[in-house]
Amino acid sequence: MRLAIHRPPGLVLTEHEFEVPLDHSRPDATKLTLFAREVVGTERAGEALPWLLFLQGGPGFEAARPLSRRDPTWLEPALRRYRVLMLDQRGTGRSSPVGDMAGLTAREQADRLAFFRADAIVRDAEAVRGALGIDRWTVLGQSFGGFCVVSYLSLAPHGLDAALVTGGLPPLERHVDDVYSATYRRVVDRNRAYYARYPEDRDRVRAIVERLDAGDVRLPTGERLSARRFRQLGMLLGTSTGAERLHYIVELPVDSPAFRHDVAAESPFARNPLYAVVHEACYASGCVTRWSAERVMPDELRADETMFTGEHVFPWMFEEIDALAPLREAAHLLAERPWPPLYDPETLLQNRVPAAALVYADDMYVERSFSEETAARVRGLRAWVTNEYEHDGLRADGGRVLGRLLELLDGTA
């Protein structure tokens, strides 16, 4: 259903809404609403352009909201070639968002949340493609969106003209413990690099941790800030400006309003609870997670109070973070759930969809060596491995990044 059309400078934005089943194997059962925003340049609005579906990173985050033709930075080059569809993946943004799921038992919550991984998102995309009458489209996936693209190549390659991935070639058959062990090594390296750049911050961080352990520092939400929650700011270290953003928080007085507000602003869990609930499950292709990140955390991170952690999710978060507490029991149930495979290695080996991927050489979130393994197992995929960017390369320099991927796709690079 078309909802509205808006015309900011240089753009035509058309809002769409679709109904899909929670479980695509049971089309007559519980329904979800999906929201998507169609974006086209004003000068080409009347043309029959090919379509580009954009899948956002996460999990649990909605698609970018276009502020102009150049924000997000990849949009301008995309609009020269495509009509773009920005899909709010199920459970995010305006697509039946996941909240505290009040009124459901823990088992009912867990059973519902089991349908928010890449395989369900691919089936949603196929339903949307059919509803819009699109023969085939190109799909661009950033980070977790790239996981969805590889699942798309496995489950429904007939719907694709081409596939593009930035920072999101997932491990195909690696156990989640292998994944987190590898990313922890990257986190340790990023901590060392951070303190080499800002050596005075080690004493500052030590003092902050001591203050948090000894006192009652409250976030603007009223929640007590623990040292381990503060150390989760290390998630920033995987982005192009993350070390600087972390430093500017650490240099603030711990009892200042600025410190407390800035720490809260860098925590995505209250705004997007789905991220924490299904994060480990999104790496679980044919295995059980059992709180992998908690189990395989290296001693160096566990014992050193000045070391920051990364994007890893821990069971204690469902005790300390008010927005996650209503999902605590469901999260424990999901941690014990046997997850089905997300990818079909045999189909990928026979792939005939033109594909290109950007692999970040020093990616803190998606292990480069595993991405290269996957690239070698997707027939015809052309990979660009570079240390020019961090994980947010598409956001930081979208014009060049998308341009290079399209050149790889076209065979001109």
CA distance 359 to 167: 5
| Residue found by looking up tokens 């927005």 in the block | 323
The pLDDT assigned to 230 comes to 97
Q: What whole-number distance in Å separates Cα of residue 234 and Cα of residue 224?
A: 19
| Nearest CA among 283, 289, 291, 287 for reference residue 317 | 291
The residues, ordered by sequence, that sit 6+ positions from 199 with a Cβ below 8 Å of its Cβ are none
pLDDT at 267: 86
Nearest to 106 by CA among 329, 323, 275, 334: 329
Q: What pLDDT sits at residue 270? A: 87
3-state secondary structure at position 353: coil
Check residue 2 and give its pLDDT. 87
Percent of the chain beyond pLDDT 90? Answer: 96
Which of the residues in the chain have pLDDT under 70?
Answer: none
DSSP string computed for 237-298:
GGSTTHHHHHHHHHTS-TTSHHHHHHHHHT--TTT-HHHHHHTGGGG-SSS--SSHHHHH--
Q: What are the residue numbers of the active site?
A: 143, 363, 391
Distance CA 114, CA 331 (A): 10
Q: Report the C-alpha gap between 327 and 294 in whole angstroms.
A: 18
Q: Are 162 and 355 in contact (CB under 8 A)?
A: yes
Q: Which amino acid is at 378?
A: V
Beta-carbon count within 10 A of 383 CB = 19
Instruction: Give me the torsion for CA of 294, 300, 306, 312, rounded to 10°.
Output: -30
Query: For residue 147, what pLDDT is reported?
Result: 98
pLDDT for residue 318:
97
Angle, helices 176-197/368-377, rounded to nearest 10 degrees = 130
Structure confidence by residue, pLDDT tens digits, 283-328: 999 999 999 999 999 999 999 999 999 999 999 999 999 999 999 9
10 Å Cβ neighbour count for 183?
Answer: 23
User: What is the structure's pLDDT at 354?
Assistant: 98
Q: Distances in Å between the alpha carbon of 230 and those of 84, 97, 217, 407?
A: 38, 27, 11, 42
Residues 282/285/286/287 CA torsion (nearest 10 deg): -50
**pLDDT tens, 167-178?**
999 999 999 999
- List residues bridging with 207 in a β-sheet: none
The whole model's pTM is what?
Answer: 0.96
Q: Using one digit for the tens of pLDDT, what is the confidence trace for 191-227?
A: 999 999 999 999 999 999 999 999 889 999 999 999 9
